[in-house]
């Protein structure tokens, strides 16, 4: 096997025997086969035409190969067959692509093609969520075929480099689509305080990004005496009016994804995974794990398309939850978390923010966002946030925030200094705010007192980074380490054009960014 798509890849170069994530060589082989089949399908579609079925299939297939989504060879085999059949129906002569060709290619070509491939995997995840809510963008859907066909063709750097940036451009459109889907379906997020105490009695933990699954679970548990707690990337769901109106959506359980094996070990409740990040399931809690949609893990109960969560509900009633309310805290001891500061909320008080900047009360904005992960060195982000001066605002998003989202950083002019904008796809909100500030101050985004200190783990972070580069955003600090798939020459291009760099120490970076 060969896989170097995530931040924790073996030795910082690539997993070749077994994935650090727990992925086996056969599963890695099947994921490569699935991507190779999608490349074949893209070539077939270019000759004929895409259909809603091929669009849906390609999004689901790409999402399935994202890190910590599927560990299940049986369902992967079914998917490969399904893509192959679709391809053969369109063009019997189209052949699957052998991914070994990519892994063995010249390192710069491999690097650019990998940026495109991993970028579209992230876009596919967001497009898949939007499609579930009935929102599709033909331009986004068409790009999957263009990008994949390019990955499977002999092309030079001159063609691939613009496609890397186009991946970022398309992802911006896709994040806008998902923002529209979420807010039109569930309302504009409002600032919401989320308890960490688990109330006594039966409960269900729901994790991942899919708000539609949460909505269905809330409806199916209504009046049954079962409380619902979010976990990981589901936390921002509390801020949506259409979801928070369900009074049994009580709070948030646990911290970021990489702590699940410890946090789920003794919990008297089932856990429903709607997307990544699922880790290899330990025996201590394997009777309580349920998956749905793209997430699959061998031997776990999978809730199919019919979305009947009855087995999860039955398990919650059987386990019964805690006998008394159980007080829990975030990793820094905080008892509640605050979320719901999307572009709707922040731009709603734009006048206040702009006045505070003009009066000198707000000196700087930091966007400290991205994924969390298990590797050491990620304490950097906690320390960085702790060190931000009292006259600065910290915007955050995605699961990396669990390192610091229970800290009380106080307020500036009635606004909390730490504002959670939502899931990773809500990077769209951060971009909207940055663009609005640039407009208000009549300057370029790069001239704003705004610094981006990002953490990455998997492929959604790749497409977000490409969006920021597409927008011409410079001086991004990225950690905890730079991606293995960026070759020295490609890195040079990124440094020369965007001055992107690795994080160093919180002290040195803070001094540099404020200096």
Core vs surface per residue 124-157: b (16+ CB within 10 A) or e? bbbbbbbbbbebbbeebbebbbbbbbbbbeeeeb
Alpha carbons within 13 A on the beta-carbon side of 238: 30
CA dist., res. 496 & res. 159, Å (int): 19
Q: 8: closest CA among 336, 459, 508?
A: 459
Q: Which does 15 bind (CB under 5 to 8 A by kind): ligand FSO, ligand SF4, none?
A: ligand SF4
CA dist., res. 43 & res. 97, Å (int): 10
**Could you tell me the smallest distance in angstroms from the CB atom of residue 37 to ligand SF4?**
19
Nearer of residues 152 and 400 to ligand FSO, judged by Cβ: 400
Nearer of residues 356 and 399 to ligand FSO, judged by Cβ: 399
DSSP for 279-345, please give it. Answer: -PPPGGGGGGEEEETT-B-TTSEEE-TT---HHHHHHHHHH--BSS-B----TTS-SEEEE---HHH
**Could you tell me the smallest distance in angstroms from the CB atom of residue 2 to ligand SF4?**
9
Residue 19 in the binding site for ligand SF4 (CB under 6 A): yes
* Stretch 45-84: interaction string toward ligand SF4, x if CB under 6 A: ----------------------x-----------------
Residue 120 in the binding site for ligand FSO (CB under 6 A): no
Q: 123: closest CA among 86, 177, 160?
A: 177
Residue 459 in the binding site for ligand SF4 (CB under 6 A): no
Of the candidate residues 20, 319, 440, 482, the single one contacting ligand SF4 (CB under 6 A): 20
Tell me how many residues contact ligand SF4 (CB under 6 A).
13
Sign for the CA dihedral angle at 440, 446, 450, 452 comes to positive
**Could you tell me the smallest distance in angstroms from the CB atom of residue 31 to ligand SF4?**
9
**Could you tell me the smallest distance in angstroms from the CB atom of residue 459 to ligand SF4?**
9
Nearer of residues 188 and 487 to ligand SF4, judged by Cβ: 487
Q: Are 485 and 110 in contact (CB under 8 A)?
A: yes
**Could you tell me the smallest distance in angstroms from the CB atom of residue 273 to ligand FSO?**
11
Nearer of residues 9 and 455 to ligand SF4, judged by Cβ: 9
Of the candidate residues 71, 135, 229, 257, the single one contacting ligand FSO (CB under 6 A): 257
Residue 5 in the binding site for ligand FSO (CB under 6 A): no
Q: Which stretch binds ligand FSO (CB under 6 A): 171-179, 407-415, 432-440, 458-466?
A: 458-466
- Which residues in the 381-410 window bind ligand FSO by CB under 6 A? 398-399
Residue 457 in the binding site for ligand FSO (CB under 6 A): yes
Nearer of residues 68 and 114 to ligand FSO, judged by Cβ: 68
Q: Strand, coil or helix: what is 32?
A: helix
Cβ atoms within 10 Å of 466's Cβ, excluding its own? 26
Tell me how many residues contact ligand FSO (CB under 6 A).
14
Q: 482: closest CA among 3, 10, 2, 12?
A: 12
CA dist., res. 295 & res. 282, Å (int): 16
Nearer of residues 279 and 338 to ligand FSO, judged by Cβ: 279
Q: Strand, coil or helix: what is 113?
A: helix
Nearer of residues 362 and 424 to ligand SF4, judged by Cβ: 424
Alpha carbons within 13 A on the beta-carbon side of 177: 25
- Which residues in the 408-447 window bind ligand FSO by CB under 6 A? 423-424
Of the candidate residues 11, 13, 15, 324, the single one contacting ligand SF4 (CB under 6 A): 15
CA dist., res. 488 & res. 360, Å (int): 41
Q: 38: closest CA among 150, 139, 199?
A: 150
Residue 23 in the binding site for ligand SF4 (CB under 6 A): yes
Contacts to ligand SF4 by CB under 6 A: 3-6, 8-9, 15, 19-21, 23, 28, 67
Contacts to ligand FSO by CB under 6 A: 232-233, 257, 276-277, 371, 398-399, 423-424, 457-458, 460-461
């Amino acid at each position: 096997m060969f896989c170097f798509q995530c931040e924790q890849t073996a030795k910082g170069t690539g997993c070749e025997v077994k994935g650090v994530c727990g992925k086996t060589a056969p599963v890695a082989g099947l994921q490569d086969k699935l991507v190779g089949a999608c490349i074949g399908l893209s070539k077939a579609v270019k000759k004929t035409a895409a259909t809603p079925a091929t669009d849906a299939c390609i999004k689901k297939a790409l999402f399935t190969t994202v890190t910590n989504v599927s560990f299940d060879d049986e369902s992967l085999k079914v998917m490969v067959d399904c893509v192959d059949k679709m391809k053969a129906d369109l063009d019997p002569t189209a052949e699957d692509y052998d991914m070994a060709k990519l892994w063995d290619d010249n390192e710069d070509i491999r690097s650019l093609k990998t940026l495109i491939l991993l970028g579209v995997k992230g876009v596919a995840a967001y497009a898949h969520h939007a499609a579930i809510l009935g929102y599709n963008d033909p331009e986004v859907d068409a790009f999957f075929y263009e990008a994949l066909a390019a990955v499977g063709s002999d092309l030079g750097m001159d063609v691939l480099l613009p496609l890397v940036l186009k991946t970022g451009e398309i992802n911006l459109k896709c994040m806008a689509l998902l923002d529209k889907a979420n807010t039109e379906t569930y309302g504009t997020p409002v600032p919401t305080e989320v308890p960490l105490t688990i109330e006594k009695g039966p409960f269900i933990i729901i994790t991942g990004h899919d708000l539609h699954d949460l909505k269905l679970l809330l409806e199916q548990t209504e009046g049954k005496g079962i409380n619902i707690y979010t976990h990981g990337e589901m936390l921002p769901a509390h801020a949506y009016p259409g979801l928070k109106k369900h009074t049994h959506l009580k709070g948030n359980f646990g911290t970021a994804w990489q702590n699940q094996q410890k946090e789920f070990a003794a919990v008297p409740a089932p856990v429903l995974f709607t997307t990544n990040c699922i880790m290899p399931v330990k025996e201590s809690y394997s009777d309580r794990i349920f998956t749905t949609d793209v997430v699959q893990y061998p031997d776990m109960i999978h809730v199919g398309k019919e979305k009947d969560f009855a087995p999860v509900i039955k398990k919650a009633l059987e386990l019964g939850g805690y006998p008394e309310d159980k007080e829990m805290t975030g990793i820094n001891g905080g008892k509640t978390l605050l979320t719901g500061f999307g572009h709707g909320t922040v731009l709603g008080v734009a006048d206040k923010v702009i006045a505070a900047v003009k009066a000198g009360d707000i000196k700087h904005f930091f966007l400290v966002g991205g994924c969390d992960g298990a590797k050491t060195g990620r304490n950097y982000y906690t320390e960085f946030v702790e060190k931000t001066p009292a006259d600065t605002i910290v915007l955050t998003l995605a699961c990396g925030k669990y390192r610091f989202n229970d800290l009380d950083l106080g307020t500036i002019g009635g606004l909390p200094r730490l504002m959670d904008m939502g899931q990773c796809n809500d990077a769209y909100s951060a971009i909207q705010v940055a663009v609005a500030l640039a407009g208000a101050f009549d300057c370029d985004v790069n001239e704003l007192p705004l610094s981006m200190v990002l953490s990455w783990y998997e492929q959604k972070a790749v497409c977000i980074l490409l969006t920021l580069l597409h927008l011409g955003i410079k001086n991004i600090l990225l950690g905890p380490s730079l991606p293995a798939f960026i070759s020295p020459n490609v890195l040079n291009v990124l440094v020369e054009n965007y001055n992107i760099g690795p994080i160093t120490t919180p002290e040195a970076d803070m001094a540099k960014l404020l200096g």
